[in-house]
């Protein structure tokens, strides 16, 4: 198990470029299973979860060619269906939650899939009913073996288009159903579909491959099934979660940082939410410039009441950045209520921040009230453990702003979502040692 040793209290400066979007990568890489033709994807981040998914597809029989550091070509001509019975597949499939998105493409093209219950962050219940119910409506049949936690999925012949109203706007659920529907017979309508930029990117990629998807960017998708898809070239968006993390890091450490090539028009409420926390920023073309701020003040509502920052389905504020917003608030002037609606275990890392000297009241598993120090009292370095990807980076940001030395254990969690984060932050002046 690796750890980060962090010497805090150092101001950072310079430029940093966000990696390709992790959540988009997991979707579009699974989509290569829909065609025999080559699919080239650029701006792929070099992170654990994505690398494991690429390895899984390679083991399934996909020919994977690495063109350069960020570009891969995939050719899913000869898929080994027997591999789905292997111990290797079970181990890799359980290691990453993104593996669930092979279901839609495999059903669409081969009429079957087997899948172990996927893993991922321990942030509370993450049910998969939306995936299964949607694919069942297209004609798939599911059997779950609770003894070995294995899903068996089959369809009798070609999937058939239908109307469906999703019970939740699940991003991965919508992606899975969408990929199942693109080669289904007839018309599929998905209402209450997720509409995140990642999903819009998947839709655009599939349309370039020959799919017929309309309503992109809305919560009502219409898919006219086609018999075959072809190859394409696709470039990932920059990772909006990294961008938000860097905005928060700059404010916490009082640093002057420029975040390059952000695709600002795809960030939704992320910049405005950090502005509500008092963080100043300027847009220079497609770059975000964060000036040095000695202090930042949390806004209140018009009537003077305490601000609430809550996660919402897109285009609301993404739940992946709530932990960053929370840690940023610990050194702001003012008070904020952080309301994590979607996952009941994602705020449990705040005990580490309290040990560092933060003033936080954990109201219940979903809500925390943060009373900011206004940088009058620094956090202090401690030893702590990263519980998941986003909490891990929040703790890293806290450690960078703290007095003294912090040690963060289990940084493999951070590596799952952030590419070479220690090297990239050290290039800005941070002092992070991997041990």
Half-sphere exposure of residue 192, counting CA atoms within 13 Å on the CB side?
Answer: 11
Per the CB < 8 A criterion, the answer to whether 22 and 239 are in contact is yes
Per the CB < 8 A criterion, the answer to whether 313 and 358 are in contact is no
CA 109, CA 111: separation in Å to the nearest integer?
A: 6
Q: Is the peptide bond before 322 cis (omega within 30 degrees of 0)?
A: no
**Binding residue numbers for phosphoenolpyruvate:** 22-23
Task: Tell me the two tokens of residue 325.
Answer: 């917003």
Of 46, 49, 121, 272, catalytic? 121
CA 389, CA 412: separation in Å to the nearest integer?
A: 9
Per the CB < 8 A criterion, the answer to whether 266 and 272 are in contact is no
- Those residues whose C-beta lies under 8 Å from the C-beta of residue 3, and which sit 6 or more positions away, are 407, 408, 409, 410, 411, 434, 435
Residue 364's beta-bridge partner residues?
367
Q: Is the dihedral of CA 409, 415, 417, 422 positive or negative?
A: positive
CA 116, CA 265: separation in Å to the nearest integer?
A: 37
Q: Say whether 380 sits in a helix, a strand or coil.
A: strand
**Binding residue numbers for UDP-N-acetyl-alpha-D-glucosamine:** 97, 320, 342
**Binding residue numbers:** 22-23, 97, 320, 342
Calculate the CA dihedral of residues 419, 319, 203, 30 and round it to 10 degrees: 50
Q: Is the dihedral of CA 178, 181, 183, 187 positive or negative?
A: negative
CA 305, CA 370: separation in Å to the nearest integer?
A: 14
CA 284, CA 288: separation in Å to the nearest integer?
A: 6
Instruction: Assess whether 46 carries a catalytic annotation.
Output: no
- By annotation, the residues acting in catalysis are 121
């Amino acid at each position: 198990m690796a750890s980060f040793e962090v010497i805090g209290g150092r101001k950072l400066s310079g430029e940093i470029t966000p990696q390709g979007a992790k959540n988009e990568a997991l979707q579009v890489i699974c989509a290569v299973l829909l065609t025999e033709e080559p699919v080239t994807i650029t701006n792929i981040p070099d992170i654990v979860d994505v690398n494991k998914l690429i390895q899984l597809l390679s083991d399934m029989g996909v020919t994977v060619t690495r063109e350069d550091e960020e570009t891969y070509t995939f050719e899913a001509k000869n898929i080994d269906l027997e591999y789905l019975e292997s111990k290797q597949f079970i181990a890799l499939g359980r290691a990453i939650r993104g593996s669930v998105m092979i279901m839609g493409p495999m059903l669409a093209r081969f009429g079957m899939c087997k899948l172990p219950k996927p893993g991922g962050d321990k942030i509370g219940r993450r049910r998969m009913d939306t995936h299964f119910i949607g694919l069942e409506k297209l004609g798939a049949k599911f059997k779950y073996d609770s003894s070995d936690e294995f899903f068996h999925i089959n369809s009798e012949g070609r999937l058939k288009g239908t109307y469906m109203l999703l019970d939740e706007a699940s991003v991965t659920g919508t992606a899975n159903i969408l990929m199942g529907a693109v080669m289904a017979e007839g018309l599929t309508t998905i209402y209450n579909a997720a509409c995140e930029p990642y999903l819009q990117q998947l839709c655009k990629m599939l349309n370039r491959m020959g799919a017929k998807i309309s309503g992109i960017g809305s919560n009502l998708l219409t898919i006219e099934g086609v018999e075959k898809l072809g190859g394409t070239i696709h470039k990932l968006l920059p990772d909006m979660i990294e961008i938000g993390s860097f905005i928060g890091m700059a404010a916490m450490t009082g640093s002057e940082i420029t975040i390059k090539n952000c695709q600002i028009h795809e960030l939704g409420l992320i910049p405005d939410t950090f502005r509500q926390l008092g963080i100043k920023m300027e847009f220079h073309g497609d770059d975000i410039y964060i000036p040095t701020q000695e202090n930042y003040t949390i806004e209140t509502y018009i009537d003077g009441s305490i601000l609430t920052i809550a996660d919402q389905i897109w285009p609301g504020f993404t739940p992946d950045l709530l932990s960053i917003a929370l840690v940023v608030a610990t050194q702001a002037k003012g008070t904020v209520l952080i309301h994590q609606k979607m996952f009941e275990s994602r705020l449990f890392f705040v005990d580490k921040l309290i040990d560092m000297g933060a003033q936080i009241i954990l109201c219940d598993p979903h809500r925390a009230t943060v009373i900011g120090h206004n940088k009058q009292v620094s956090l202090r370095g401690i030893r702590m453990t990263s519980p998941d990807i986003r909490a891990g980076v929040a703790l890293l940001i806290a450690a960078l702003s703290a007095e003294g030395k912090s040690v963060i254990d289990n940084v493999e969690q951070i590596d799952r979502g952030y590419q070479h984060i220690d090297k990239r932050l050290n290039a800005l002046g941070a002092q992070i040692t991997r041990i």
